[in-house]
Structure 1
Amino acid sequence: MTSMNDLSELFDIDEQATPDPAVSAARRRRLWRALIIVAAVVLVIAASIVGYVVWALNAPLPSPVANTRSLTAPATQPAAFALPADGATAVTVTGAPGYLGADGLHLTAGDDSPRPIASISKIITALVVLDAHPLESFSDPGPTITFSKADHDLYDAYYVQDAAIAEMPTGSSMSLHDALATMLIPSASNYADAVSTWAYGSRRAFLAATDDFLAREGLTSTTIVEPTGLDERNTSTPSDLLRIGQLAAANPTIAGIAATTDLTLDGPGHLTNTNTLLGEGGVTGLKTGNLGQGTFSLLFTATVGTSVGEPLSFVGVTLGGTTRESQDAAVLRLLDSVRAGFRDVPLVSGGTLVGSYTTAWGSSAQLVVADSASIRTWSDTPIAISTDITNPTEYRDGEQVGTITWTAGPATASAALRVRGTIDPPTDWWRLTHPDQLLG
C-alpha cells in the first residue's frame, strides 16, 4: 500500500521545505483530489467488468436455426363406381355438398334410349292421380273410392294376363291413400286401372292428363299408353326416369307408400312389397317392374350414411336387368361403391423427421411430427399441405414449435411439430467469450 510519504514524493511535496501552512494545505488538497480520481477510475473499470459479466450471462440467446424439409401431400385416387353391366343405368347422388358440390354426382351406364318400363308405369299413374287429387301428407287418407261391378271385373281381366292383382269386392270402399298403396306395394294392376279411371272419369281422360303432365315436366322421352305397365309400349329413358323418381321421392304419399314393406287392409288383405331391396343398403323405394327375363327394372331411392356427418340421397334407375336377383345385387354394389368413395387417407406417421435445429453454441435437436394423422376425403379430392414453425423458447424435449395442416375439400387434419432431444444452453464461458453472437 502506498504511504503518505510515497505520495508526497510522487507529487514532490516537501513539508520541511515548505513550512508555510497555507502551502502545505494546498498540496494536501491536490493529493486528495488525485486519490479521488484514481479511486473513481478503478471503480469505473470494476463496474464495467461486472456489468459486462452480468449482461453476458443474462443476454437473450440467438435463436436456433431451423433446417426443414417439405412434406409431400399424398396423391388421391378417383373412386371406382360399380355401375350395373346389364342394360342402362342413371343415378343422381346429393348430400355432403362440401365434397360432391351443390349439384351432386351424376352417374350413367348404357345408352339413354327409351325402353319398356313395366310396372314403373304405376309411379307415373300415382303422380298423375295425385295431380288431380293431392293429399296433404302421408297420413292424409284423401277421398273415399267405392268400387263398382266394372271395377271388380278388372280382377278377372288382369288375372288372365298373369298380372299382379288384389281383391276388390263390388261395393267395397277404400280411401285414395289405401287404394294407391294397393296399387304400388304389391303392384296390383286392377287397382291401377280402377283408380286412374276414378280420378279422371275414363281411360281416355286419364291418358290425356298423363300426356299433359309429362309435357309440363319436360318428360318428352316418356310414353304411357295405359296405367299398369303391362303394355311394352309404356317406355321411358333413364334420364326421364330420374326426373320421375325425384318427383315421386318429393311426394310424401308416394315416398311413404314405396317405403312400406308390408301392409294389411280390409278388402285386399295382406300386401307385400315387390321391392325386396327395401331396408338393404339404405334402399327406401320406389318401384320394381319386369316384362320377363332381360327386362327387369328398378326405380330406386336410397339414403346412405357417411362418416362426414351428412347422409347421401340417391335417386336411380336401372333398366334391362337379366334377373331380379342380379339387378338387386348390382344396385347394392353401386351403393357400396359410392359410399366407399369416402375414405381415410393416411397423411403422416408419428415421429416422422421434418427438420432440425442448430444453435450458435453447437447444440442441436430434431424437429418431428408428434402423432400420426389421416384425413377423410372424397374420391380424388386433392390434398393441400401447410406448415407453421416457430423457434423453441424452452429448449426442451417435446416442446411444441409448430403445426402441420392438411386440407381436402371441407376437411382438415393437423399434427403438432415438436422438438426431439434437448437443446442444451450454452456455458457461462461461451457467453462471456462470444459477445458478438449475443449481440446478433
Structure 2
Amino acid sequence: MSRTLDPARPAPPRPTKPSPAVYRRRRIVAVGILAVLLGLLVSGGVYTSTALGAPIPVAEPAIDDPAPVAAPAQPVAQPGFGTWAVGAVGFDGLMAAGGEGTPMPMASIAKVITALVVLEEHPIPEGEAGPQIAYTDADVDIYWDMVAQNGSVAPVVAGSELSLKESLEAMMLPSGNNYSISLANWAFGSVDAYLERASAWLADHGLTETRVVDTSGLSLDDVSTAADLVRLGEIALENPTLAEIVATRSVAIPELGTIENSNRLLGTHGIDGIKTGTTDDAANLLFSADLAVGETSVTLVGVVLGGATHALVREAVAGLVDSIGPGFREVVALEAGRPLAAYATPWGDTAEAVATEGATVVVWSDTPVDVAVEADSLRLVGDGAEVGVATVTAGSQVIEVPLAVDGALEDPGAWWRLANPGALDEGVVAEPPAAG
C-alpha cells in the first residue's frame, strides 16, 4: 500500500543541527555531573576508610570500692600492777600493754633463753630426743649449791644418762636451776662461754632490752622488758621441741620419777605455755594461749611481771586472755565472684570485673579492713581476662585478689562504625556494680 500526501496538511519541519553553543553547554553539564559523582565516590571512600580504621574508644571502669569495715575497740582487763604485754603470733605490735618498755627482773623466764641457745647449738629433729648426756658427781655438786642458794632444783643422779630433751624437761617444768648450769657446761664447756653465746643470740634476735648474767635467772640482774619477752615467747613457740615441752603438764623420767610443770594455768583459758618465774619479791609468768576465731585460731603470747604472788599473776593472766580473745574476729573482706568494676561501650557491650577468689582476714579490736580496687581501662577484651586487682589491707596483713572480666567487649563491626562515626571518639561510663 502506498502513502499519499495530503496537500492540505503542512509538511513537518526538518530537524536542525544543534549550534556549537549548545554542544558546549551540554559538555559543561556532563563534566559537572561526572565531577560530582567522582567527588562523592572519593569522599565516600575517605569516609569509609576513616570510619573503618578509627580506633575503638576506651571503656573506663566504673569502680565499686567497698567501704572499710571496723568494729569498736575491745576493752581489756588490765592487771593493775607490775608491767605486762600481750601480742599474737602473726600480728605486728602488741594487742595491749602496760609499762612494756620498763626493764624488770625476769627470774626463771631466763631459762627460755638457755633452752633456745642450747637448742641452736644442738638442734633436736622433730619427734626425736636428741643426744644422751651423762651426769656426774659434778652435777650433783651443782644441785646442792643451788639448794644452798634457795634456788629451785630438779633431782639428778650421778652416773645416769638423760637425753637432751629429758634434760630440758627437768630444767623447764620444775624450773631446775641445776639443770640450766649442767646444760650450759655440756653444750658450751662453761657458764661463761654460754653467757657470751647468749648475749650474741639476744642481739641477733633484736632483744636489745634483755640481759642475762647467769643460766637460771636467779640473779636480779637478769632483766628484760615485757615487750622483749613477748617476742622471746614467740621465738620459743617456733621451736617444735621447746613448744612441746612447755605445754606438758607432767612427764615421767625413769631416772628422776615424775616431774610437774610449775605453770598451773596449763589447760585452762586456752593456755599452753610457757614459763613461770619467781624472785624474792615478785612472781612472773610468760604465757601462750590458743584461741578459736571463726574457722581458724590465734595464738596469744603475753607476760605479766611483778605480781605479789603467783595466784595474783594467774588471775591477771586469765583476765587478760578472757578479755582479749573476743576482740579477735574473722572478717570476709571479699567473696569470690563479687563485681567490683563495670564496663560499657557505645555499641552496647557490657562487662564486669569480678573477684576471682574470696579473701578472709582475722583482725583484732578496731583494726579496719579496707579493700582498694584497681581496674584497667579497656578497648577490646575477651571473657575471663585478668583486668585488675583488689588489695585487702588489715593492719599488717595484705592480700591481693586478681580481678577477671565477666563478659566481653568486642569490635562493633563495619556497619556500626559507618553508621556511628562520632561515637568512635567517645566512650561510655558504666554505672558502678551493685554492692555485694
Amino acid in structure 2 at the alignment position of 1:297: N
Displacement of 1:104:
7.0
In the alignment, structure 1 residue 297 sits paired with structure 2 residue 267: no
Query: Could you tell me which of 167, 176, 197 is aligned with 2:155?
Result: 167
> Which stretches of structure 1, 4 residues or more, deviate above 6 A after TM superposition?
381-384
Query: Could you tell me which of 179, 185, 188 is aligned with 1:191?
Result: 179
Displacement of 1:379:
3.8
In the alignment, structure 1 residue 247 sits paired with structure 2 residue 219: no
Contact 1:94/1:104 (8 A) holds in 2? no
Q: Which residue of 2 aligns with 1:403?
A: none
Displacement of 1:82:
1.2
Q: Which residue of 2 aligns with 1:122?
A: 111
In the alignment, structure 1 residue 77 sits paired with structure 2 residue 77: no
In the alignment, structure 1 residue 155 sits paired with structure 2 residue 143: yes
Q: Which residue of 1 aligns with 2:309?
A: 323
Distance 2:117 2:300 in 1: 23
Q: Which residue of 2 aligns with 1:135?
A: 124
Q: Which residue of 1 aligns with 2:325?
A: 339
Distance 2:120 2:157 in 1: 27
Secondary structure at 1:320's aligned position in 2? strand
Distance 1:129 1:193 in 2: 11
Secondary structure at 2:193's aligned position in 1? helix
In the alignment, structure 1 residue 86 sits paired with structure 2 residue 86: no
Q: 1:342 to 1:140 in 2, by over 3 A?
A: closer
Distance 2:163 2:369 in 1: 56
**What stretches of structure 2 of length at least 5 have no aligned partner?**
1-68, 331-361, 371-393, 398-436
TM-score (norm 1): 0.58
**What stretches of structure 1 of length at least 5 have no aligned partner?**
1-73, 96-101, 345-375, 385-408, 411-440
Q: Which residue of 2 aligns with 1:310?
A: 296
Displacement of 1:377:
9.4
Over the aligned positions, Cα root-mean-square deviation in angstroms equals: 2.8
Displacement of 1:268:
1.9
Secondary structure at 2:214's aligned position in 1? coil
Once the two structures are superposed, what CA deviation does each residue of 1:262-291 show, in whole Å capped at 9, x if it has no partner? 011022211000000101101010000011
Displacement of 1:140:
1.3
Contact 1:94/1:105 (8 A) holds in 2? no
Displacement of 1:148:
1.6
Displacement of 1:106:
2.8
Distance 2:311 2:366 in 1: 32
Q: 1:78 to 1:231 in 2, by over 3 A?
A: same
Larger Rg: 1
Secondary structure at 2:312's aligned position in 1? helix
Once the two structures are superposed, what CA deviation does each residue of 1:338-388 show, in whole Å capped at 9, x if it has no partner? 1232589xxxxxxxxxxxxxxxxxxxxxxxxxxxxxxx996447799xxxx
Identity over aligned residues, as a percent?
A: 40
Q: Which residue of 2 aligns with 1:270?
A: 258
Distance 1:232 1:342 in 2: 36
Displacement of 1:233:
0.7
Amino acid in structure 2 at the alignment position of 1:88: T
Contact 1:88/1:318 (8 A) holds in 2? yes
Aligned 1:27-42 pairs, distance under 5 A:
none
Secondary structure at 1:340's aligned position in 2? helix
Distance 1:381 1:141 in 2: 42
Distance 2:363 2:197 in 1: 47
Aligned 1:13-52 pairs, distance under 5 A:
none
Q: 1:146 to 1:87 in 2, by over 3 A?
A: same
Distance 1:341 1:223 in 2: 33
